[in-house]
């Protein structure tokens, strides 16, 4: 995302192309769109010069998948389906017609309890970064492979502007990581930037955005960093101890900051 022009480039559910963040930048630089998805995102990236199609499976990922299949595809991200402890094919559990079923709100407690049960620091790999140049222009980027054992076709918060990242030259920037399926429902980075626009310090803005999510999903796992246009930065997290790194021209090396829940 370009904080000067508010342009965004994103790709989602893209296969066979390794460099997702570069593909997203190509969308911003060479199209009038904001997001491309699926096979056509791959075709676009390759047509613009990125290597592919490439088999992105590794020995480690294949071994992990084989063990997962042998364990009846557990854990997974499905709910209210049968078979509950198998690899499918899946079908809805019970009668899905709301008119003949319990009130939708009956499932709220169950949904909130599920929270981030399959997401922790070991099974996702989001990298989010913000950069401020000498002219004061701000850019952000996020790259991720998504959650382990996700349902095919799943799109997380990585390519969603305002969720995993957001920037505005006039205010500052934000990056996020964690349970994207929950965090994208709150657009936490948009919230952070808008809170800073109203005068909130980065630390308070980040904490406020995290607490908004935690009030609805007390078991969720996630973290945010915030930086204003003057370079003041802070982080906030829930469900884990979070670390982020900072480098500026005045610093001899990268400095790592630790944030506790």
Helix axes 188-197, 202-216, angle to 10 degrees: 140
Given 54, 126, 241, 258, the catalytic residue: 126
Helix/strand number for the chain, H first, E second: 7, 12
What CA–CA distances, in Å, run from 211 to 118, 222, 231?
A: 20, 11, 23
Tokens (6 digits) for 151? 């349902």
Cα separation, 21 vs 38, whole angstroms: 15
| Catalytic-residue membership of 144 | no
> Which residues 6+ apart lie within 8 Å of 162 measured at CB?
187, 189, 190
**Active-site residue numbers?**
126
């Amino acid at each position: 995302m370009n904080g000067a022009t508010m342009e965004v480039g994103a790709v989602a559910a893209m296969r066979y192309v390794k460099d997702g963040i570069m593909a997203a930048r190509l969308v911003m630089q060479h199209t009038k769109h904001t997001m491309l998805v699926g096979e056509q995102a791959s075709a676009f990236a390759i047509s613009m010069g990125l290597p592919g199609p490439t088999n992105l499976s590794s020995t480690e990922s294949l071994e992990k998948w084989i063990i997962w299949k042998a364990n009846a595809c557990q854990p997974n991200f499905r709910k209210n389906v049968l078979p509950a402890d198998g690899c499918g094919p899946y079908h809805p559990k019970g009668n899905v017609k709301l008119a003949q079923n319990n009130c939708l709100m009956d499932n709220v407690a169950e949904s909130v309890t599920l929270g981030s049960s399959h997401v922790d620091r070991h099974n996702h790999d989001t990298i989010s970064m913000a950069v401020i140049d000498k002219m004061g222009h701000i850019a952000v980027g996020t790259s991720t492979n998504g959650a382990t054992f996700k349902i095919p076709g799943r799109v997380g918060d990585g390519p969603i502007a305002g969720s995993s990242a957001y920037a505005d030259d006039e205010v500052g920037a934000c990056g996020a990581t964690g349970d994207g399926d929950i965090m994208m429902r709150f657009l936490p980075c948009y919230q952070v930037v808008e809170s800073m626009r109203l005068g909130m310090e980065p630390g308070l803005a980040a904490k406020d955005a995290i607490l908004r999510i935690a009030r609805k999903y007390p078991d969720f796992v996630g973290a945010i960093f915030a930086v204003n246009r003057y370079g003041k930065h802070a982080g906030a997290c829930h469900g884990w101890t979070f670390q982020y790194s900072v480098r500026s021209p005045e610093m001899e090396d990268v400095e790592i900051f630790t944030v506790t829940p």
